[in-house]
Amino acid sequence: MSELDPPQQRRASSDESDALDAGVQDFRRGAASTGKPAAIVSFSRQELREIMNLYGRMVAAGEWRDYALDFTPDEAIFSIFRRTSETPLYRIKKDPKLARRQGAYSVVAIGGLVMKRGHDLARVIGVLERGPKLALV
């Protein structure tokens, strides 16, 4: 081969490619036997708008400071924190498996207590709204 010839790519033999593939895992796959990607449960744009409207009001009131979003194949979780380093005060969960029974949405408090569960997100997160404060005059 002379210096003027184009460089040739080295192709891995079947033994080398099998050895390389053995150490590589595809995390996008759901079940290894099906080979199909797992569906991830997430919040729709309208659901996120309702949650973020509530979150914005509570941040403005000084109640909440941080949030986290978790999406798994089973459920979507919006966690609400008072401070970043703490455990979440509340978790707003969307679990489609419960949609026909108890409702897909639930609000879970810090100790695991389900505060409210239902089919309508606006009514479920209404439990987190601050009611009017009554004062004795």
Per-residue model confidence as pLDDT tens digits over 42-92: 889 999 999 999 999 999 988 899 999 999 999 999 999 988 777 889 999
Instruction: State whether the Cα torsion 73-79-84-86 is positive or negative.
Output: negative
Domain range for residue 124? 45-128
- Is 19 within a domain? no
Report d(CA 48, CA 69) in Å as an integer.
10
Give Cβ neighbours of residue 19 (< 8 Å, ≥ 6 apart). Answer: none
Taking the model in full, what pTM does it have? 0.68
- Is 31 within a domain? no
Total structural domains within the chain: 1
pLDDT tens-digit map of 18-53 = 554 555 544 444 455 556 666 888 889 999 999 999
